[in-house]
Structure 1
Amino acid sequence: MAGLYFEEFEVGQLFKHSLTRTVTEMDNVLFSTLTMNPQPLHLDKEFASKTEFGQILVNSLFTLGLVIGISVGETTLGTTIANLGMTDTRFPHPVFYGDTIRVETTIISKRLSKSRGDAGIVEFEHRGINQRDEVVCLCRRSGFMKCRPA
């Protein structure tokens, strides 16, 4: 599915994205090592077993990337000029190996660009939710979006 143009977004619009993803140990190990993050909570089973979580936690930046990535196909695929920023990012519950993540996106605001007549800024709120219906990631993201071609 192609992404939507600026005009096609409405404030309050809710997307319940159809794509889901089960997180694996390989996802976490590769992401953590590729990003040079040696945190034992993400990579050392023995260390993690002695924490309050009792097991390895999935790297939260992987979770953030996954949540935003799941949203792309139904919102911004091919219609984004650039991401302008992410704010209010939180991880209320941890993600563990085997958790399946689904995503909901709400359109928070939109406005035409003052410097370009062919683009606008859309603010998205993404929510990642696991199979236990726990919110594992919240993030507001501003996207610089193309307007529909004339």
Structure 2
Amino acid sequence: MRGLYFEEFEVGRVYRHPFTRTVTESDNVLFTSLTMNTQPLHLDHEFAKGTIHGRPLFNSLFTLALVGGFHVLELTFGTTLGNLGYDKVEFPHPVFHGDTLRGETTILDKRESRSRTDSGIVWFEHRGYNQDDVLVMRCTRVGLMARSPEHGGSNPRVLGDDTPVREEQQA
């Protein structure tokens, strides 16, 4: 299995990723502790009772990382050369313990690299939704993607079958 090469990305295409994950209190406590985020809004039930949410709020950086991971097997597994940046990271609705998240990605733009002949640059918009289809996270990301060997790219190490597997829909 592999992700897409630069040439295979189509601007405007929407990918509805098949993965979902229910987030747990353990996820939140572990991630928050590992990242040394001592915000009581994430860790302290008594403190959180007195906030506008009335309960602990999920760490938004975990949400960004989880939703950002949903696309990997379909789009970038073994074909990405690195992230170039994130922009417009938004969390329009809170995530709580027990929510089940899913993701979608739209290809916003792409261009050939000006400094590398073996790669191109792709702009992604990643969106996360909860079990009620409420948007909980949106970001744009820029990635450096390998070109296919037929188009001057090197053949990245790919595990297993070289056939991309994805569920997609045209925007």
Q: Measure, in 1, the Cα distance between the counterparts of 2:42 and 2:7.
A: 41
- Cα distance in structure 1, aligned partners of 2:102 and 2:66: 10
CA distance in 1, matches of 2:76, 2:122: 10
Distance 1:18 1:132 in 2: 16
- Runs ≥4 residues deviating over 2 A: none
2:167 matched residue in structure 1: none
| Correspondence for 2:139 | 139
Letter in 2 for 1:57: L
Instruction: Return the offset for 1:133.
Output: 1.2
Aligned to 1:64: 64
For 1:121, the equivalent position in structure 2 comes to 121
- What secondary structure sits across from 2:19 in the alignment? coil
Q: Secondary structure at the match of 1:92?
A: coil
1:62-108 Cα deviation digits (max 9, x unpaired) = 00000101111111011000100000000000000000001000000
Gaps of 5+ in 2: 151-171
Q: Larger C-alpha radius of gyration, 1 or 2? A: 2
Q: CA RMSD in A?
A: 0.6
- Structure 1 residue 41: deviation in Å? 0.2
TM-score, length basis structure 2:
0.86
CA distance in structure 1 between the partners assigned to 2:149 and 2:99 by the alignment: 40
Q: For 1:39 and 1:28, locate their aligned partners in 2 and report how far apart those are by CA, in whole Å.
A: 12
TM-superposed CA distance for 1:117, in Å, is 1.2
Matched, 1:20 2:17: no
Aligned residues: 150
**1:3-82 correspondence to structure 2 within 5 Å:** 3-82=3-82
What's the secondary structure of 2:106's corresponding residue? strand
Q: Which moved more, 1:69-78 or 1:106-115?
A: 69-78
How far residue 39 of structure 1 moved from its aligned partner, in angstroms, is 0.3
* Partner Cα separation in structure 1 for residue 93 and residue 104 of structure 2: 16
Residue type of the alignment partner of 1:90: E
**Residue 94 of structure 2 corresponds to residue 99 of structure 1:** no
Q: Where does structure 1 lack aligned partners over 5 or more consecutive residues?
A: none
Measure, in 2, the Cα distance between the counterparts of 1:15 and 1:133.
15
Q: Give percent identity, aligned residues only.
A: 63
